[in-house]
Structure formats: C-alpha cells, structure tokens
A and B are shown apart, each in its own frame.
Chain A
Amino acid sequence: KNEVEQSPQNLTAQEGEFITINCSYSVGISALHWLQQHPGGGIVSLFMLSSGKKKHGRLIATINIQEKHSSLHITASHPRDSAVYICAVAAGSQGNLIFGKGTKLSVKP
C-alpha cells in the first residue's frame, strides 16, 4: 500500500462544477503539499498546510491531522484548471516529500 493515496485517479468535470480531490496518508508528517502539474510537466506549489484550511482564489485546501486526510476543492471550475493535481507529504527527519500518484483533472467547456 502506498504511503500517500489520492482519489480519484482521473476526474472529468463540466465548466463551473465544484471539484474535490482527496488525499490520505499513513505516515507522520510535518506538512502536506498540494501541487499542480501542467501538461508540459512543470510543477507549481499550490498549498502547504499542516493544520486547518487555506484558500487561494477558487482553490481551498483542508487537512485533518487526526484522520490523516486532506482535500483540495476547486470552486467554479474552468478549463484552465485542467492539470494533474499531486498530494505530497513531508515526512522523516529531513522532511523529504512522499508523493501521491496524482489526480488528472479535465474540465470541459
């Protein structure tokens, strides 16, 4: 079993829909990251959180440390949101990242 599990693996939505991507992990962490990878491969860090909730524009990330679970929400989705969303946790003494396999999101106009 992977230490970081994401669901769903693939997600297709219509423009305007509310989207949720889930991440569960099984190790002790110092922080959890949500990353966005566009088709060209470049990766952008969206959020880093260790408790509670963060919001940036139409993106919201939450984490429940007790349940070892995080969610990434996108409100009013848009085709430009189409990308792979990756959950990663910082674990161990060096805080190295352990990655989920990613969720491929496709938003149709």
Chain B
Amino acid sequence: SQTIHQWPATLVQPVGSPLSLECTVEGTSNPNLYWYRQAAGRGLQLLFYSVGIGQISSEVPQNLSASRPQDRQFILSSKKLLLSDSGFYLCAWRWRGTDTQYFGPGTRLTVL
C-alpha cells in the first residue's frame, strides 16, 4: 500500500531563518507530487507540482522553492522566511492518468 510522510509535524521559526520541509511517498513510483499551503482563514493553494525528478512547476510567485532530488522525495525550502509564510503545508501525490490525490499529514509552520 502507499503511504505519504511529512516532517516535521510542527515548526516554529524566526523571520529570516531558512526552511526545509520534506515529503516522501512509499509504495508507488513516478507519482505526480504537490505542495499546498493553507494560510489562516484561507483555502488551500497549490504552490508547486512535479511530474518527475528535477521537474518543478511553480503556481504562484513567492520566496519559497521546491526540489525533487529523488522520485519519491519532494522538498519545500526557503532561504529567508517571512511572516506571511506561516500556514499549514500539505504534500500530496497522485498516479499519472488518475484524478485522486492523496494527502500527507501536513506541517504546521509558524513564523515569528
């Protein structure tokens, strides 16, 4: 069976500090991978998606970046966090050619 992991579960970081959130998927190969953010009082927003190793598409301009160094690993990064980066970050995956997405448990990031 397939599982998706995210860590850390919660994170409190000062403004200007770097960020690295990791997502890994088990039990599948060559999935599409996604990073979403849910800011307080707002809906989920797609940040990045990837259709393969090293292939990253960005949906919104921001000070975040994503990388996919391995087939089942998706990393969200920032060199300098802003207060507005606070939120709930979700990773998701889906099989090519299907529509169902499977979500990870999420990381709650607070930037102070």
Contact = CB atoms under 8 A, between A and B. Distances in A.
Interface of A: 2, 4, 30-31, 33, 35, 41-45, 48, 50, 86, 88, 90, 94-102
A58 to B, nearest CB: 21
B1 interface: no
A41 B49 contact: no
Nearest to B108: A41
Interface residues of B, number: 22
A102 B45 CA distance: 12
Contacts of B7: none
A31 B57 CA distance: 21
Nearest to B97: A95
Most buried by B among A35, A48, A99, A100: A99
Interface string B5-49: 000000000000000000000000000101000100011111001
Given A94-B49, A96-B59, A30 B99 contact: yes
Interface of B: 32, 34, 38, 42-46, 49, 51, 57, 59, 88, 90, 99-103, 105-106, 108
B98 to A, nearest CB: 9
Nearest to A101: B43
Residue among B32, B34, B38, B57 with max Cβ neighbours from chain A (10 Å): B38
Contact of B99 (A2, A31, A41, A86): A31
Interface hub of A43, A48, A95, A96 (most chain B Cβ within 10 A): A43
A45 B43 contact: no
A8 B38 CA distance: 19
Nearest to B45: A99
Nearest to B42: A101
